[in-house]
Chain A
């Protein structure tokens, strides 16, 4: 009796995923696993001596970095501030330029389909260019210094910011916009009174987030000649002056952590 009941329940309960999906997922899983395994063994054989050899070599280099040279602190302070300024200027410009772009790339605001698609495509293309490539191109065009770095960061952060903010705009409650249109408001008033209050906290949070990314990116960009602390770090490494380089890395580490901490606290308070 109980046995019979059990079989019936078993038969009555359908699987959550259809069999076809299960097979597809399994196949994809094994293909990915296979790719991982082959690429792992391939990399191993390419590295002379494999992992163990690499680790030993790394240890030998690491020792040369210690102790860090604290005497360079006063000298690197200026470039560090330059790096931060680079990130601030780039983030600010990007935050301003983002507003029209994000509005044009939001389907619920830009009802003109071609205009929306053109903006979307433009932003997608922007985001496919890595920041380092941008920096190399601009350093080539304008020479070594802060300006090419700032330009690269602006374009890089514009791609991320406009995309994320246009998605925030697409998720807003459209009802108040309709109410304002029905009361005779024009498009600017609708955006200002119904849209901005809904996206402002997200906007500020995302700008701060992009600022954090820009601080780290501006260090890296300096390595390819785009000014700031990255440039100094690159020089010191080039001169094999490892204790100086180590001190610079520690300073960068502390500054990045401090800025991230403050920015995270502000973002938490906003949302």
Chain B
């Protein structure tokens, strides 16, 4: 369970990232965070694994306030929260399997990892994860030989290999075309169901949010301005979150193609 209690975040330059955020995210939920660019979606998600640190309030992950964490506590928190990025963030020159095994680094001692001496079960797990996103045949390819959609699947396999409790996905489909976007979202949804992994996804496409989310959180200027199940969301809700009428480019489209 993740709980935000009166969380504020002001960046060193004075920009307000989060303002009085109060949220509870329960285990197993699939939450989509929507909002215009600059609304604070990334800041919200990156607070949970402390890539950024809120300046006040409490942030509880499994009932522990993570804002005081440093050093090894912080690394332990991060092994629990897997992250997926807009630009996949793979080591382009390394093979797919090496990239996926990097998901185990947080669980592996420094010496063991430097000598590439991953445990047998870790290598097995990495291969299993690749199979789950249907890309096991690319195991020895260099990451930069793959298409965008394939690279994002490898990054999902990396997160699976990490065996986290939470998945944080920051605009995972923003660099992909509509059919590939749906494919990636379908995998995230499937993993959420099969492994009961709490998943938080930032998206700015409202049709995709509606299609995949259980619950939608709307953000504007660092504040949570909407929080409710998909069934309560209408076009009007989005207009309120975005503070303007809905446009063509707020939609990803291509839902029928997947």
Residues of A whose CB lies within 8 Å of any CB of B are 173, 175-176, 178-186, 188-189, 192-194, 197-198
Contact = CB atoms under 8 A, between A and B. Distances in A.
A186 B155 contact: no
Chain A binding surface, main DSSP class: helix
Nearest to A193: B102
B190 interface: no
Interface in B72-112: 75-79, 81-83, 85, 87-94, 98, 102-103, 105-108, 110
Contacts of B103: 183
Contacts of A183: 78-79, 82-83, 102-103, 105-106, 158-159, 162
A186 B105 CA distance: 8
A178, A182, A185 — which one has the most chain B CB atoms within 10 A of its CB? A182
Given A182-B83, A184-B106, A197 B93 contact: yes
B51 interface: yes
A193 B95 CA distance: 11
Interface of B: 49, 51, 75-79, 81-83, 85, 87-94, 98, 102-103, 105-108, 110, 113-114, 155, 158-159, 162
Contacts of B78: 181-184
Nearest to A190: B105
A179 B51 contact: no
B91 A185 contact: no
A189 B93 contact: no
A180 B49 contact: no
Given A179-B85, A192-B113, A184 B90 contact: no
Contacts of A180: 102, 105
Nearest to A192: B114
Contacts of A175: 85, 87-89
Contacts of B79: 183-184
Contact of A184 (B76, B93, B114): B76
Contacts of A181: 51, 78
Contacts of A185: 75, 102, 105-106
Contacts of B105: 180, 183-186, 189, 193
Contact of B51 (A182, A186, A197, A198): A182
A184, A185, A189, A192 — which one has the most chain B CB atoms within 10 A of its CB? A184
Contact of B110 (A173, A184, A189): A189
A193 B105 CA distance: 9
B114 A188 contact: yes
Contact of A193 (B77, B85, B91, B155): B91
A189 B113 contact: yes
Contacts of B91: 176, 193-194, 197-198
